Amino acid sequence: MKVLILKNSLRTLVWAIYAALAFGLLWGIVALVRMNGPIFFIQAIIDGLRLGFMYALIALGYTMVYGIVRLINFAHGDVFMVGAFTSFYAITRYNWSFVPAILLAMLICTVLNVVIERVAYKPLRNAPRIASLITAIGVSFFLEYFTALSFVFGPDFITYRRPFPVEVWNVGGILITNITVIIVGITLALLLSLQYIIRRTKIGKAMRATALDKSAARLMGINVDGVISFTFALGAALAGAGGVLYAIAFPQILTFMGIMPGLKAFVAAVLGGIGSIPGAFVGSLLMGTTDVLVVSFMPMGSRLRDLIAFLILILVFLIKPTGIFGEPQAEKV
Amino acid sequence: MPLLQVEDLHVAYGAIRAIQGISFHIEAGEIVTLIGANGAGKSTTLRTVSGLLRPMQGDVLYQGRSITRTSPERIVKMGISQVPEGRLIFSSLTVLENLEMGAYTRKDKNEIRDTMKQVFTSFPRLEERRTQLGGTLSGGEQQMLAMGRGLMSRPRLLLLDEPSMGLAPILVDEIFEIIKTINAQGTSILLVEQNAAMALSVADRAYVLETGRTVLEGDAKELLHNPEVREAYLG
Ligand SMILES: Nc1ncnc2c1ncn2[C@@H]1O[C@H](COP(=O)(O)OP(=O)(O)OP(=O)(O)O)[C@@H](O)[C@H]1O
Ligand SMILES: [Mg+2]
């Protein structure tokens, strides 16, 4: 009885927090629009969604890998960085154009992530989960510091040369660049392909089956190790493309550039419900928009943006650990 | 040469010795049943035959070849399919997708479609519900889906782990009728059951397991009338 009352009042509290957040958000938006005019606000939303699309390309890899091996692959943000650098060398050194460069980045990242899985995670698959988590953090540091060596990518910021000239269009006061169009276009195309692979192809169905029950999948004759490799490969291809697009949008690259976007994408995946693909997408759009809104409108916003992101993470863990789309899942043995 | 021969099998989960000396064989075309109390080691035996577990000692021969080091995928390809205890339906895959997963090791799309037609003939209810998610089926329908899925690889040997678990008596009868039909169409069957009376009535031969060992074997109909068996398993 007591437990029930406690549960009910907790639920009321949670709803009160939701209501307060919704109200605060609404009030904030109204205030912002009145202060700065709607154009400025719409511009921020567009830039935010654009950033969110790039986060989504990372977050999907986190969520798919988690769905199948229950591992947060913390090296995922660094795979994204390798994507950016690969395209940098292809474009600057070898004068490749945009499409081959992004395809090469996706390929290299795919190979890298599959190797990481084989070498670092597969041997620990039956070990306690904390072991693979710590290993993931180790792999992440390794990639960041190894590539920072002067004979690899080097320790400094490098200016990224865009593979095409920037064009800006003024649509009723809102500025839209061809970069935004390309980011949104490529991300949508990749998301649709991903959706097709997961829903319609044999390997995609095997991925979903394996995520649900590995022993049952084995009994069907599904090569579970192969499916796991494939999942890491898919996630890495998306992250690689994301790295290229991110470098084009923010043309300064560094071997540590994957850390923050990686963490933001992780927050986005948790916010959407870790393991859920639509969740990763929606969570990323929310995360990107929040990022830009904070920077554009909050006093000291550029210093607060990361703080706010982790505040969101903590709030999600406190209020609804399963996120927006996550099902309340019983821990599987 | 028997279709399947299990010789002096010992299997452990870490330090827990689950089975310690199980031997039996199945001839092509037979229905053989393993009966025994909870924890006797029936499911462990099936998991070992399917290649999910590696034995510490003993051997599993399929068509004369040892398969204890063979991967589960290969074993399915070689013609052994298991319908596991608790069904293990893929809950967020549709009925159709669950069946497709059963045919995972097969390539020819037309042949797969033919097998699916046969499965739908045996289980018409699955055809009606083919776009429904596996997790939303009733217990009986899930059992049918699990069996249909197991047949999709066109096995020569079908391992059934407690197909009657949790089903109403009418459904149990229906499931056992279907088992007989599957067998009559040429699939050999290894049936694990708690419902010993039912299992013995459809099987050709039977083995009784007790705490990880085979303790009794014989003609199923004879065991049905064996006083020891009646006392212990037929209440
Ligand atoms: N994953 C596991 N880890 C440790 N021990 C296990 C595991 N699975 C089974 N066992 C043990 O192995 C023994 C045999 O179990 P098994 O599941 O094979 O029995 P069973 O005959 O199928 O029983 P039931 O009729 O209840 O299904 C039991 O003592 C059980 O506790
Ligand atoms: Mg069992």
**B131 neighbors B93 (Cβ within 8 angstroms):** no
Amino acid, single-letter form, for residue A309: A
Question: Would you call A221 and B52 a contact, using CB atoms and an 8 Å cutoff?
Answer: no
**Residue A22 exposed, middle or buried by CB count within 10 Å (0-12, 13-18, 19+):** exposed
A199 lies within 8 A of chain B by CB? no
Q: Quick check: B162 and B194 in contact, CB under 8 A?
A: yes
Cβ-based neighbours of B123, under 8 Å, separated by 6 or more = B144, B145, B147, B148, B178
The answer to whether B77 contacts A221, with C-beta atoms less than 8 Å apart, is yes
Q: Is A127 on the interface with B (CB under 8 A)?
A: no
Ligand 1 atom with the smallest distance to the CA of B194 is: 25
Interface test with A, best of B48, B54, B73 (most A CBs within 10 A): B73
A chain contacts of residue B149, beta-carbon cutoff 8 Å: 220
Other Cβ atoms within 10 Å of A23 Cβ, number: 10
Residue A4 has pLDDT above 80, yes or no: no
Q: Which residue lies with its CA nearest to atom 11 of ligand 1?
A: B18
- The DSSP bridge pattern shows strands B31-36 and B188-193 to be parallel
pLDDT at A26 over 90: no
Of A212, A213, A221, the CB nearest to B104: A221
**B135–chain A nearest CA distance, Å:** 11
Distances (CA, A) of B223 to B40, B193, B235: 18, 14, 14
Tell me how far apart the alpha carbons of residues A5 and A15 are, in angstroms, rounded to a whole number: 15
Mean pLDDT for chain A overall? 93
Full-model pTM? 0.92
Please tell me which residue, A325 or A153, carries the higher pLDDT value: A153
Q: Look up residue A213 and give its two tokens.
A: 């029950």
List of residues 6+ apart from A224 with CB closer than 8 A: A210, A214, A217, A218
Contact A161, A172 (CB under 8 A): no
Which residues of B are less than 8 Å from A221 in CB distance?
72-73, 75-77, 104-105, 153
Pocket test for ligand 1, best of B22, B35, B42 (most atoms within 8 A of CB): B42
In angstroms, the separation between the Cα of residue B90 and the nearest Cα of chain A is: 6
pLDDT band at residue A331 using 50, 70 and 90 as cut-offs: very low
Interface of A with B in 217-236 (CB under 8 A): 217-223
Residue A131: predicted pLDDT: 95
Shortest CA distance from B148: residue in chain A? A220
Q: Does residue A205 belong to the interface with chain B, where contact is any CB pair within 8 Å?
A: yes
Contact A210, A229 (CB under 8 A): no
Position A225 scores a pLDDT of 97
Is the predicted pLDDT of residue A32 greater than 80, yes or no? Answer: no
Give the closest residue to A260 by CA, choosing from A113, A80, A121. A80
pLDDT along chain B (235 residues), means of 10: 97 96 97 95 98 97 97 98 97 97 97 97 96 96 97 98 94 95 97 93 96 95 90 80
Strand, coil or helix: what is B19?
strand
CATH topology of domain B1-79+190-235: Rossmann fold (3.40.50)
Spans of all domains in chain B: 1-79+190-235
pLDDT confidence of residue A333: 31
Closest residue by Cα to atom 7, ligand 1, is: B13
CB pairs under 8 A between A and B: 63
Residue found under tokens 């040369």 = A161
ipTM: 0.95
- Distance, in Å, from the CA atom of B235 to the CA atom of B230, rounded to the nearest integer, reads 6
Binary contact (A216, B100; C-beta < 8 A): no
- Give bridge partners of residue A69 from the DSSP assignment: none
Split at pLDDT 50, 70, 90, the class of A1 is low
Predicted confidence at residue A330, as pLDDT, reads: 43
Choice from B20, B38, B87 to test ligand 1 binding pocket (greatest atom count within 8 A of CB): B38
In this predicted structure, what is the pLDDT of residue A2?
65
How many Å lie between the alpha carbon of B221 and the closest alpha carbon of chain A? 31
Closest C-alpha to A308, from A260, A276, A272: A260
Residues of B in contact with A209 (CB under 8 A): 90, 93, 97, 101
Highest mean pLDDT among A22-31, A307-316, B173-182: B173-182
pLDDT in tens, A41-77: 899 999 999 999 999 999 999 999 999 999 999 999 9
Any CB–CB contact under 8 A between B134 and chain A? no
Nearest-CA residue for ligand 1 atom 3 is B13
